[in-house]
Amino acid sequence: MPLNLAPNIPDPDGFYQELIDSQRDLDESAAALMNARLVLLLANHVGERDTLREALRLARPPAR
Amino acid sequence: MKTFTPPRYAWRPAPEQQGVVESPHPVVVIGAGPVGLTAALDLAARGVRVVVLDDNDTVSVGSRALCYAKRTLEVWDRLGCGEAVAADGVRWQVGKVFFQDEMVYRFDLLPEPDHKMPAMVNLQQYHLEQTLVERCLTSDLIDMRWRHRVVSLEQNDQTVLLGVDTPEGRYTTQATWVIACDGANSEARAMVGAPFTGQAFQDRFLIADVLMKAEFPTERWFWFDPPFHPGQSALLHKQRDNVWRIDFQLGWDADPVEERKPERVEARVRQMLGPDADFELEWVSIYQFACRRIDRFRYGRVLFAGDSAHQVSPFGARGANSGVQDVDNLAWKLQCVLAGIAPETLLDSYHDERALAADDNIRNSTRSTDFITPKNASSRLYRDAVLGLSRDHAFARPLVNSGRLSLPTRYLGSSIITDDTDAFEAPSAAPGCPCPDAPVERPDGSSGWLLDHLGRGFTLLVVGADPTDSNANANAEPLPLPVTRLRLDHDLVDRRGVLSARFDTRQQAVYLIRPDQFIAARWRQPSMAEIRQALARSLAIH
C-alpha cells in the first residue's frame, strides 16, 4: 500500500484541534513521550514496512 | 569461588621437545575454550588427529558464557556431550520485563515440543569446559597440550610453522591446518595481520555472579530504568548450583575500580533483591563490549573460529553459541579436504557461511544493545514509549528487545547449497537450514530422535521410492563418497507424524543432509544424477 498523501482526514480543522488539545496540558517531555507513543500506535496500525519507510523518509525535515 | 574449584591439567613436554620429529599435524587448534574443545571433538569424531595448544592449564574461571541454545546443544549431542550439558544446565522458559517500578510483561519461550534438546540451558562456562575437556581426554586422537603458548606463526602453500613456548622452553611444530580459537584478543589473528573491525560500545557493565542462599524462581528478569538503579538496566539470570548472574549497566562514565569493590557491589545487589537477601559474591567483573568481525575467516591454512573471528555484545547469547556453530561448519569440511575428497576451496565456503552468521549475530546483538542502551534522547524516548505501551498492549511487546533467542542462521545463498526446484511447505527444513529434529521410532519399536540417526557423513533421508536403489541404477555412476541412507518406514518410523509435517514429506521426498546436519538439498523425486550433482556441489567439486 503506497503512502496516502492525498487529503484523507474528515473534518481536518476538528482533527487538528483535537491533536493540539491532546497535548495542551503537557510539558515538553511528556508531549515528546506522547508523540513517540502515537508514532508507535499508528505505525503498528499501518503495519506495512514499505509504507512506513516512505513515511520515515518524508517526515525527515528537509536539509537547509 | 564457593561452588567451583578449577581443575589443574598437567603440563607435559611435547614429543617435539623430546627429540621426536613429527610430520606435520593434520590440524592444530589454538585455544581450549568451548570453541577449540568442540573443534577437537568434532575432528576426532571424524577420525582426524588433532593437537590442542592452550596457554593455560585450567578451564576459564569467572563470569563468561552462560546460555547455550538448542542448535549448540545439538552439536554437542552429535559429539556425545549434549545430554551431559543439558542435564547439567538450568532450563528456563519464563522471562519477565520490568520498566521503572512495575512488571510490564511476562513471556514464556514456549519451546516447540518434540525436540530432543531444550531451547536453551544456562550453565557456567567452567562447568561446560570441564565436561568438554574430560571428553577430549578420553580420545586417542586428541593431544591436549596445556601451557603451550603459540608465539609465532608462519605459513606457506604446504604447511603452517608454529613456535610454541612452554615452561621448559620453546619448540617449533608444523600443521597442515590451524584453527585459531584463541578468543577476542587472538594473537593468531595479529600474527596473520588480519583486521578486526566494528563498533565499540561506551557503556560499562558490572557482572556479579552471586550465590543465593534462598530460593528464587528460575526465570530471566530484565529491568529497564528500575528504582534501584535509575536510568540504567539490570538483568538477573539463574545458573547451576544456585549461582545467579546479575548484570548492571553502569553507564559510560563509571569508575571501574570503584565499582568492582565488594561492598559497593553488595550494596547494589541488596538494593535489587531487597534488604533481607542472603547471598555471597562468587565473582565480580566490569566490562565494555564491542561488535567486531575479522574480514576473512580463512587466511590460507589458518581458520578463525569463535571470538577470534567475531565478537558480539552479550545480549542474546551469541558468543559461545556462534563459535560452536563455526566449528560445526568447519570440522567436516577440513576432514573432507584432508581426506582428498574435496578441494581446498571448500574451506572458502566456511567463510561464506559463517561470516553470514556472524553478521546476523552482530546485527541482532547490536539491535539489542541499541534498545538497552539508547544512544541519544530521541532513541531513549522511543525505548521508553515501547516499554510503557507494552504493559497494556500486545502490539508493543515484540518491539521490546532485551536480547533475542539465539537461533541458527540459514546459509542462504551459499554456493555449496542447492536451492529448491520442487515445492515444499517446510521452511524450517529448507536448504541451508539445520535439519529439524523429530521423534522417531526404530524398527524394533523403541523410540528415538531423528538427529541421532543421521550419519557422521552425508545422509539421504528418503520418503517413498528410493532413487539410490541399486536395482534401478545398475548403470549409474556411483556417488563420490558413501552416504548413509535413512529410509522412512524401513530404518525409522514416523509414528506420530511430526517428521512428515516438519519436512513436508507427503508421500515422496528426498533430503540430502550434510555432515554438520544442515540441509544441502531436497527434492520430491530426484534422479541419481541430481543427487550426485548436489553432493558434488556440497563438496565444492565443480
Of A32, A41, A44, which has the smallest distance from its Cβ to B381's Cβ?
A32
The domain that holds B85 is classified in CATH as 3.50.50.60
pLDDT for B476 beyond 80: no
pLDDT band at B513 (very low <50, low <70, confident <90, very high): very high
Same domain, B357 and B434: no
Tell me how close the Cα of A3 comes to any Cα of chain B, in angstroms: 21
pLDDT in the model for residue A63: 82
- Chain A residues with CB under 8 Å of B396 CB are 40, 44
| Residue A26 in contact with partner chain B when CB distance is under 8 A | no
- In chain B, which residues touch A (CB < 8 A)? 381-382, 384-386, 388-389, 393, 395-396, 399
Report domain extents, chain A.
26-59
Nine cell digits for residue B455: 550419519
Instruction: Look over chain B and give the mean of its residue pLDDT values, rounded to a whole number.
Output: 94
CB contact under 8 A, B389 and A33: no
- Whether residue B351 is predicted with pLDDT greater than 70 in this model: the reply is yes
| Nearest chain B residue (CA) to A39 | B382
Give the total number of structural domains in chain B: 2
Q: What is the pLDDT of residue B474?
A: 64
A46 touches chain B (CB under 8 A): no
Task: Name which of B509, B523, B516 is nearest B539 in CA terms.
Answer: B516
The pLDDT, as a whole number, for residue B84 is 97
For residue B4, name the pLDDT band (cuts at 50, 70, 90): very high
Nearest by CB to A36, from B381, B393, B395: name it.
Answer: B381
- Would the CB atoms of A36 and B395 count as touching at under 8 Å? no
- Looking at beta carbons, which residues of chain A come within 8 Å of B395? 41, 44
pLDDT tens sequence across B241-300: 999 999 999 988 899 999 999 999 999 999 998 888 899 999 999 988 899 999 999 999
**Does B347 have pLDDT greater than 80?**
yes
Other beta carbons within 10 angstroms of residue B378's beta carbon come to 11
Give the start-end residues of each E strand in B80-159.
90-91, 94-99, 102-108, 120-122, 142-146, 149-155
Contact B77, B451 (CB under 8 A): yes
> In this structure, what are the phi and psi dihedrals at residue B529, rounded to the nearest 5 degrees?
-65, -40
Q: Answer yes or no: is pLDDT of B471 > 70.
A: no
Question: What number is the average pLDDT over the span B348-355?
Answer: 98
Tens digit of each residue's pLDDT (9 = 90 or more) over B7-22: 999 999 999 999 887 7
Q: Confidence class of residue B472 from pLDDT cuts 50, 70 and 90?
A: low
In B, minimum Cα distance to A45 occurs at B395
In angstroms, the CA B5 to CA B151 distance is 29
Are the beta carbons of B235 and B220 closer than 8 angstroms?
yes
Q: Residue B49: CA atoms inside 13 Å, Cβ hemisphere, count?
A: 9
Asked if B435 and B531 sit in the same domain, the reply is yes
Min Cα–Cα distance to chain B from A50, Å:
18
Domain termination residue (choose one: B316, B346, B366): B366
Q: Do A44 and B388 touch (CB under 8 A)?
A: no
* B179 and B325 together in one domain: yes
Give the CATH number for residue B432: 3.40.30.120
Structural domain includes residue B69: yes
Last residue of a domain, one of B366, B395, B415: B366
pLDDT at B252: 87
Asked which of B318, B340, B366 is the last residue of a domain, the reply is: B366
For residue B67, is it within any domain?
yes
Contact B119, B111 (CB under 8 A): yes
Which pairing describes strands B25-30 and B243-251: parallel, antiparallel, or unpaired? Answer: unpaired
DSSP 8-class letter at B80: T
At residue B164, the pLDDT reads 98
Q: What nine digits make up the cell of B521? A: 538439498
User: Do the Cβ atoms of B389 and A32 come within 8 Å?
Assistant: no
Q: What is the pLDDT of residue B63?
A: 81
Confidence of residue B182 (pLDDT cuts 50, 70, 90): very high
Amino acid code (one letter) for B136: C
- Domain range enclosing B173: 15-90+112-197+292-366
Asked whether residue B378 is assigned to any structural domain, the reply reads no
pLDDT tens across the length of chain A (64 residues): 899 999 999 999 999 999 999 999 999 999 999 999 999 999 999 999 999 999 999 999 988 7
In a domain, B479, yes or no: yes
Name the percent of chain B lying above pLDDT 70: 99
Query: Contact B384/A41, CB-based, under 8 Å?
Result: no
Q: Stretch B133-137: mean pLDDT, rounded?
A: 97
